[in-house]
Amino acid sequence: MTRSGRVVLVLGGARSGKSSFAEKLCRETGLSRHYIATGRAYDAEMEERILRHQDDRGTGWITHETPLNLAANLRSIDSGDVVILVDCLTLWVTNLMMAEADMASASDGLMSYLKDCAATVILVSNEVGLGIVPDNRMAREFRDHAGRLHQGIAAEADEVFFVAAGLPLKMKG
């Protein structure tokens, strides 16, 4: 099957403005907006971050909390008349690692969906490969999983943006 939808990847560092930029792209489509939240509130600080994101986003979104089964949830709401914002892939990778899930299978499932989606899908993720080499195995594995996932999605995406200091740089498309 051939994709009829559009895939956009938005990368950036922490607090770079990538989520705000992605939300703006969603609003500009004029389509029904779905928000897939991958984050989990393990502590009070994360609960506060999630609430801040919800407030910043405002109304008009259908929210799906999806910490693990991303491809299945995307397929369940896929339609040519919706835009789906996934925020964020690095939290999804963290959740998969903590669950000791099969990372390759989960990534393959996401890539398979993106190859034939009907929706406009905007994926947000933290670029984690620009710093020093992490000093522990788990952090290095996380960086490697995220980096491979980003490369795969960027190859499939119609557009790729890198956001720094609130300024988007179009890298592809």
Instruction: Dump pLDDT digits (tens) for 90-136.
Output: 999 999 999 999 999 999 999 999 999 999 999 999 999 898 888 99
Q: Which of 1-5, 111-115, 142-146, 155-159 has the lowest mean pLDDT?
A: 1-5
Q: Which residues contact 108 (CB under 8 A, 6 or more apart)?
A: none
Higher model confidence: residue 40 or residue 169? Answer: 169
At residue 80, φ and ψ (nearest 5 deg) are -70, -10
Distance CA 20, CA 172 (A): 19
Structure token pair of residue 2: 């051939």
Distance CA 149, CA 128 (A): 12
Q: Would you mind telling me the total number of residues written for the chain in this entry?
A: 173
Lookup result for tokens 């996401």: 110
Give the pLDDT confidence score for residue 155 in this predicted structure.
97
Q: Which of 42-51, 77-86, 119-128 has the lowest mean pLDDT?
A: 42-51
Whether this model's pTM surpasses 0.85: yes
* Residue tagged active-site, from 34, 53, 145, 150: 53
Tell me, yes or no, if 53 is annotated catalytic: yes
Looking at residue 136, its amino acid is N
Distance CA 14, CA 11 (A): 10
Greatest alpha-carbon span in the chain = 45
Pairing verdict, β 159-164 and 167-172 = antiparallel
